[in-house]
Structure 1
Amino acid sequence: MGFDWEALQFICLIEFWRMGVIWSISLIFSYFQLLLTAPFGKTPCSYPRHSMGPPASITSPPICIITGATSGLGKAAAKCLSNEGYYVILAGRSLHLLSKTIQEIEKQHGDARLKGFQIDLSSFQSIVKFKSSVEQWLVDSNLHPSIQLLINNAGILATSCRLTPDGYDQMMETNYIGAFALTNLLLPLLRNSPMPSRIVNVTSFTHRCVSDVQINEETLSGKKFKCLSGLKQYPFANIYEYSKFCVLLFSYELHRQLCSMEPSHQISVMAADPGVVETGIMREVPPHLSQLAFTVLRFLGLLQSPEHGVGSIIDAALAPKEASGQYFFGGKGRTVKSSALSYNTKLGERLWNRSCELLREAKLTPWESKAGS
């Protein structure tokens, strides 16, 4: 077996040490928050799970859409929510994996109601096609023309610069811009629900690493990180943190905008942080290093399986609507505070406005509350 030069080169990157040191500190800080109140006789704020059932006048089952549903946390969430009575729409890039995942879940749960649709969140065209396909399927299946739950789970950690057909950094568009666009396009279906509906955005403890934020076309496209300049060292850790910070900032801003509307529009918005989960997200990191990282995290008791790590996502999906705007972390219905910067309302408004501009540039119509943005 030859020497692993790829792993050696990766170790020499600043981004590797950022992941190994700063990300670890951010993760430990999040868990520290769960324990912080114990000496003072308090417990972290937590919310019980409530199974969702349709009103007696509606015969359709509640419908849930999960992106990135063919593996890891997305697949685990699909299994859990199908058990809760949801008709689960699995959204993923590969039709083969969608079919395989559906067969696997149906083997374990024979009465599961599942449907697969192809989507690539790094393509506006694919997102628009997905929305149209879902709407047509609802009509053809004689289901109520609405959805009750959207889980924006899909995400990637790319270690090299790749541009999407829309001209954006692939990680930024997959992790944030695509989720923003999909949510905007599906809001009419969520608002049309005869029962309270919900959006769960999956973020990450790595958002705590973001301290200097500029919201403009340069940052959202990835140009601010010199992705397009031919720089040899692609700042993938930095971009991943920023994309997850944007997901969180977007979650809080959408929550505020929905709260400003009349009470009849009962859409809640939750953020969920699963912590460190053994999924395929590290597939672009040299195998020896990703295996070493998982071994160390497992030894420290910080590494979770998808079945356990999905807890915070399911907590957010099934929490009472009063929990809207909360940051779920640690399972057992627990919530903690995210970074102070993530609560900056002016920053949230700026992100919303600039993201809407991106949609308009792509000939898409963003949703806007009556209160304006």
Structure 2
Amino acid sequence: MAGWNASDIPDQSGRTAVVTGANSGIGYVTARELARRGARVVLACRSEERGSRALARLRSEVPGVEAEFSRLDLGDLSSVREFAASYERDAGQRPGDGGLDLLINNAGVMALPYRQTVDGFETQFGVNHLGHFALTGLLLPLLLRTPGARIVTVSSAMHAVANIDIGDLNSERGYRRWIAYGRSKTANLLFVHELARRLAAAGCDVVAAAAHPGYASTNLQAAAPRMEGRKGAERVMRIGNGLVAQSADAGALPTLFAATAPGVRPDSFTGPRILGWRGAPARSWRAGWTRDDVAAGRLWEASEGLTGVEYGALKG
């Protein structure tokens, strides 16, 4: 994969991709580059205003693109269910088998002050992990009937900050924002690990893989200071992004590689080549605890219980 870039993305004509958090940052770039290679893209975003604006931008940058915006709030499980039901209903009305080729679990929040989702989960765990766990499970039947389908979940090098605490998934015994973020990103990798195992056990050819952007300049870093009204901290974050971060275009490359490059292996983790920080996509280091079969299984069972979404086709 040396020197791999967006020009190496294979033709995506006839394929459909759902990209969460596609209104900005690496999510938008991911959707745009897939569209440039011929994919039909669904921008799954929480804000109708920002999602519609991103759709208009995409149509101006990729003339003739087949794209749509669909509202998805990963912090509200009823919204996740509504999105999945709407997608399945619309897919059934399209020519062909109405499946889904690519699910890009990209959206996320980082180091927020303590908040809870609509369903009462700590926000980082609820949005970054549980929302995507539920979405993937609800869309799985469409993915399973699509030859060559892939599920790419975006984690972070910051998963190394903390392993999950299976007895305190919602940080009820104390909340430290960066620890909670690290745990949510570890949860992403454990999810991919267990999903890949279950897909293989069921004899399915769907590839579940993970990626991370390194340090990419997006709106993510400034979100928490902005929520808290800390204008100085927000300014520092933006200056730091400008000085040391790679662009969102570069940060999206590991996701695009995992989604489209030939030979991507299940449970692989792709990130920037240079110290996991920047550069072309490469195999990324990951903490040993993200391959813990017991922890992955326990998190899976807890996630099914918390979301009410069971992966019936992948039991065991």
**Could you tell me how far 1:142 is from its partner in structure 2?**
3.4
Q: Compared with structure 1, are the counterparts of its residues 128 and 296 closer, same or farther at alpha carbon in structure 2 (3 Å cutoff)?
A: closer
SS of the residue corresponding to residue 155 of structure 1 reads coil
Matched, 1:259 2:200: yes
Q: How does 1:245-284 map to 2 (within 5 A)?
A: 245-262=186-203, 265-281=204-220, 282-284=222-224
1:202 maps to which of 132, 143, 154: 154
Matched, 1:183 2:106: no
CA distance in structure 2 between the partners assigned to 1:92 and 1:337 by the alignment: 30
Q: Compared with structure 1, are the counterparts of its residues 261 and 249 closer, same or farther at alpha carbon in structure 2 (3 Å cutoff)?
A: same
Matched, 1:63 2:16: yes
For residues 236-277 of structure 1, what are the alpha-carbon distances to aligned partners after superposition, in whole Å with 9 as ceiling and x for unaligned?
A: 111111111100111111111111222xx2100111110111
Matched, 1:214 2:153: no
Q: How does 1:323-362 map to 2 (within 5 A)?
A: 323-330=265-272, 331-360=279-308
The runs of 5 or more residues in structure 2 that have no matched partner are 273-278
1:78 maps to which of 31, 36, 47: 31
Note if contact 1:139-1:145 (Cα within 8 Å) is conserved in structure 2: yes
For residues 91-115 of structure 1, what are the alpha-carbon distances to aligned partners after superposition, in whole Å with 9 as ceiling and x for unaligned?
A: 0011122211111111111121101
**Could you tell me how far 1:292 is from its partner in structure 2?**
2.6
The runs of 5 or more residues in structure 1 that have no matched partner are 1-42, 55-60, 227-233
CA distance in structure 2 between the partners assigned to 1:298 and 1:96 by the alignment: 26
**Could you tell me how far 1:293 is from its partner in structure 2?**
4.1
Note if contact 2:5-2:253 (Cα within 8 Å) is conserved in structure 1: no
Q: Compared with structure 1, are the counterparts of its residues 47 and 305 closer, same or farther at alpha carbon in structure 2 (3 Å cutoff)?
A: closer
CA distance in structure 1 between the partners assigned to 2:312 and 2:176 by the alignment: 32
Give the residue type in structure 1 aligned to 2:130: I
**Could you tell me how far 1:164 is from its partner in structure 2?**
2.0
SS of the residue corresponding to residue 57 of structure 2 reads helix
Give the residue type in structure 2 aligned to 1:235: R
Mean Cα deviation higher: 269-278 or 329-338: 329-338
Larger Rg: 1
CA distance in structure 2 between the partners assigned to 1:304 and 1:287 by the alignment: 23
Q: Compared with structure 1, are the counterparts of its residues 277 and 287 closer, same or farther at alpha carbon in structure 2 (3 Å cutoff)?
A: farther
Match for residue 10 of structure 1? none
Count of equivalent residues: 304
2:92 maps to which of 139, 142, 155: 139
Match for residue 103 of structure 1? 56
TM-score, normalization: structure 1?
A: 0.76
CA distance in structure 2 between the partners assigned to 1:184 and 1:347 by the alignment: 19
Q: Compared with structure 1, are the counterparts of its residues 98 and 298 closer, same or farther at alpha carbon in structure 2 (3 Å cutoff)?
A: closer
TM-score, normalization: structure 2?
A: 0.89
For residues 321-341 of structure 1, what are the alpha-carbon distances to aligned partners after superposition, in whole Å with 9 as ceiling and x for unaligned?
A: 442211101153311221111
2:10 maps to which of 51, 64, 70: 51
For residues 15-66 of structure 1, what are the alpha-carbon distances to aligned partners after superposition, in whole Å with 9 as ceiling and x for unaligned?
A: xxxxxxxxxxxxxxxxxxxxxxxxxxxx98x999552557xxxxxx211000
Please provide the CA RMSD for this pair: 2.3
2:232 maps to which of 275, 288, 310: 288
**Could you tell me how far 1:279 is from its partner in structure 2?**
1.2
**Could you tell me how far 1:214 is from its partner in structure 2?**
2.5
Report % sequence identity: 27
CA distance in structure 2 between the partners assigned to 1:158 and 1:129 by the alignment: 28
Matched, 1:223 2:223: no
Matched, 1:242 2:183: yes
SS of the residue corresponding to residue 249 of structure 1 reads helix
Q: How does 1:112-127 map to 2 (within 5 A)?
A: 112-127=65-80
Note if contact 1:64-1:147 (Cα within 8 Å) is conserved in structure 2: yes
Match for residue 365 of structure 1? 310
Give the residue type in structure 2 aligned to 1:238: I
